[in-house]
Amino acid sequence: MLWMGEEFGESTRETPNQPHKLLWSLLKNQPNHQLLAYYKHVILLREKVPALYTKNIEFFPENAETKVFAYYRWSDEGMRAVVVANFWDTYLSGNSIPNFPAGTPAGVDVQQSSRSWGRRV
């Protein structure tokens, strides 16, 4: 869940005693603008992939050591999606997910960098 401006890098929080105006000027900075574009892309992806919003879901065993969380979702029409979230502060090369569902693409390597918001597949 995002809070007031986090989708473009706003980091100041509003408190009940101290109202806070959003710093829209942050969008003039390329990293902030790219972050907003990334979130827009993720929202569009969720809208276009029915497997991401069905009730069909299966969680993989979490690995507290690597801070990786993953789940598998599917639609009744047969569309499938695997979501993997890396809560570590660095890219985990060669990480594997136990009990990966059969029939999903093997060898897909996705890297998300907090600096460039790039993706490598």
Q: What is the pTM of this model?
A: 0.58
95 shares its domain with 55: yes
Residue 16 counted as domain residue:
no
Q: How far apart are the first and last CA of the chain?
A: 26
pLDDT at site 87 = 84
Return d(Cα 92, Cα 89) in angstroms, integer: 9
Residue 106 counted as domain residue:
yes
81 shares its domain with 112: yes
43 shares its domain with 84: no
27 shares its domain with 81: no
Q: Specify the higher pLDDT residue, 114 or 95.
A: 95
Give yes or no for residue 116 having a pLDDT over 80.
Answer: no
52-109, pLDDT tens digit by residue?
A: 889 999 888 777 777 888 888 999 988 888 888 888 888 877 777 766 656 544 444 4
